[in-house]
Amino acid sequence: MIHRSLFREEHDLFRESVRKFIEREIKPYNRQWEEDGIVPRELWRKAGELGLLCCSVPEQYGGLGLDYLFDVVVIEEMARSGYTGPGFMIHTDLVATYIRSFGSEAQRREWLPRMVKGEAIGALGMTEPHAGSDLKNIRTRARRDGDDFVINGQKVFISNGQLCDVLVLAAQTSSEAGPTGISLFLVDTKLPGFVRGKNLDKLGMKAQDTSELFFEDLRVPASSMLGGEGEGFPLMMTKLAQERLAQAVRSAALSEAVIEWTVDYTSQRNAFGKTIADFQNTQFKLAELKTDSVVGRVFTDRCIELFMKDQLDSIDAAMAKMYMSNLHCRVVDECLQFFGGWGYMWEYPIARAYADARIVKIAGGAIEVMKHIIGRSLFNPKKSADKRSTDAVTNVTGTN
């Protein structure tokens, strides 16, 4: 097995603390949370107390000022556990990142310390019923009214939507359609006019709340804007690589975990006088999946290295996201077959992993969008992928 050289001793020690947190604070309660369709806010506060949220937020904003690899460790260990309730990835990797990158000093000081502690939960409000992977067509409008903006519209598939205290919201601020009319706002969800819709009943990720959100004459101060007016679309484009890298990291970790579950199960389960692991078909199939997962892991780790050097472009991120999403779905499907009827029972992690897996081909940009980005680059190799990028970000559940 290829040694992962990314992590140092401090990362390994932190990984152990994350695993203990999951075992103690998530595992015993996950089944109930799946029935409830939501995790309790107390879990977020406990995660904040242990430094599991927004690890790389600078100390001046209440964080620990650690490197990105600490955030990666949390993503990986949550994925390996098979528990999808806490939307930590969206909170940390997306919302906090938007505030750090584009927020004013006042916005950073207002929200980041609370997000680090788990006292304020973040969500990303971009996807609409008519605008998923094509955010240029969003219809939520923000109309200028003196020193305020008045927002009306609707969002859907919003992870952390039932719990969120702060929302990064994309809205049209100009009568001119398309990307030049989109702006981003940092919305305090306690404001009048912010309305939470129903908690959506999903195929998988049962314990993670996913909502419709409505804005009914929601009045926000102009100072709540992230970046400048009309800059929303290019700002969103700058974070695509990070979002898609996080999706690849999660898929890589979960794929490895599923293979491990399957090796353990087939080594113990007997059929026709021997274990299932003794059959050539089992060994050959798992050999293929293991090889593909190692190849995907090496590429994903390389993308992490590039990201930490600020050198990861949208093409490489799209390839990582596409490859690992496809592998993720294939691994859970082919491994479930070895479990037979037990693989269809919800009490087995493989069953939950199967139901959860399908979203990875949609969240963070559909696979078809990834193919378009990669394919287009083949015919325009001299152009900057970032400058050419007009694809959109998706906030379908599980982007975290």
CB-facing half-sphere around the CA of 256: CA atoms within 13 A: 18
Instruction: Return the closest-CA partner of residue 68 out of 306, 291, 284, 385.
Output: 306
The whole-angstrom separation of Cα 339 and Cα 41 is: 35
Give one DSSP letter per residue of 198-248, joined into a string. EEP--SS-TTS-EEEEEEEEEEEEGGGEESSTT-HHHHHHHTHHHHHHHHH
Active-site residue 243, yes or no?
yes
SS3 288: helix
For helices 105-117 and 41-49, the axis angle rounded to 10 degrees is 100
SS3 123: strand
Instruction: Return the closest-CA partner of residue 189 out of 153, 217, 160, 164.
Output: 164
The whole-angstrom separation of Cα 318 and Cα 241 is: 7
Contact predicate 6/304, CB 8 Å: yes
Contact predicate 331/289, CB 8 Å: yes
The whole-angstrom separation of Cα 58 and Cα 67 is: 10
Give one DSSP letter per residue of 319-361, joined into a string. HHHHHHHHHHHHHHHHHHHHTGGGGGSTTSHHHHHHHHHGGGG
Pairing of strands 141-145, 122-125: unpaired
Contact predicate 81/140, CB 8 Å: no
Contact predicate 94/87, CB 8 Å: no
For 167, counting Cβ atoms within 10 Å of its Cβ (0-12 exposed, 13-18 middle, 19+ buried), the class is buried
The whole-angstrom separation of Cα 337 and Cα 345 is: 12
Per-residue tokens: 80: 């390996």
Per-residue tokens: 243: 């979002």
Distance of CA 345 to the CA centre of its chain: 26
Of 243, 256, 288, 347, catalytic? 243
The whole-angstrom separation of Cα 400 and Cα 84 is: 9
Which residues participate in catalysis according to the annotation?
A: 243
